[in-house]
Structure 1
């Protein structure tokens, strides 16, 4: 799955648990409006249901439900990209301009996305890390 889609799914689910959840919902609706306008009403209802489930899970300390909701919305976003690959640019915009700013600062590192490319030729080695990296050995 595209790392951007993974970050967006996490950010969406985290953002719907905030007081500004209607902005988070509006960002998601714009994506569906572009690809599947006939599904907008259903998506709005599903987001409200997801919010209720998420708030209950957080109240009960149920991290599995939160993880499952994030996986579900990552999958839904991936389906949008499969239906219209051009929506990926809109997902990036919504992630950066709508969902991430709604998150508490402590939640933002969990949704960052990193894209790295490297090429090694001959006997070259490439070491890349999106966070801490520790290399041991010769």
Structure 2
């Protein structure tokens, strides 16, 4: 059971850190605040504190990604992995809810098929295909590999 909770905490931390660097951050933040405050030992008034900690982590992460500071990006993920693991150890019943949150936040998890999207590209002449995407499904904290 311990290994399963540790793996779930790691998956949760990875997913939340990926969302910190994406447009989907507000939704992920709100879900994590709700989850952590529900299973917190202190509960009352905890939401603002957790949200502040998450926003601090997001600021640290985005600054680290801009400057190529891979260690700080890894530290942010490790911090939330530890926090989630401790939460799950204190209340193993929270695992089912964390899995549900992760499923909802996964690409295609909340099934928004009826959303209309309109993309406009302007500001230049493009002599090649232009590709626009949302979540790609993986996130690399480091620098991209050299191209050959």
Whether the TM-score (by the shorter chain) exceeds 0.5 is yes
- Counting matched residue pairs gives 108
Q: Greater share of helix residues, 1 or 2?
A: 1
Give the Å deviation of 1:101. 2.5
Counterparts in 2 of 1:20 and 1:106: CA distance versus 1, 3 Å: closer
Q: Secondary structure at the match of 2:101?
A: helix
Q: Secondary structure at the match of 1:107?
A: coil
Q: Secondary structure at the match of 1:105?
A: coil
In structure 2, runs of 5+ residues without a counterpart are: 109-133, 140-148
Q: Which residue of 2 aligns with 1:95?
A: 102
In structure 1, runs of 5+ residues without a counterpart are: 109-138
Q: Whose RCO is larger (CA < 8 A, sep 6+)?
A: 1
Mapping 1:118-129, distance limit 5 Å: none
Provide TM-score, normalisation by structure 1: 0.71
Counterparts of 2:95 and 2:84 in 1: how far apart (Å)? 9
Counterparts in 2 of 1:106 and 1:35: CA distance versus 1, 3 Å: closer
Q: Which residue of 2 aligns with 1:107?
A: 138
| 4+ aligned runs moved over 4 Å, structure 1 | none
Aligned residues: CA RMSD: 2.0
Counterparts of 1:84 and 1:41 in 2: how far apart (Å)? 21
Counterparts of 1:106 and 1:80 in 2: how far apart (Å)? 26
Counterparts of 1:60 and 1:73 in 2: how far apart (Å)? 21
Provide TM-score, normalisation by structure 2: 0.67
Give the Å deviation of 1:106. 4.1
User: 64, 81, 91: which is aligned to 1:84?
Assistant: 91
Counterparts of 2:137 and 2:99 in 1: how far apart (Å)? 20
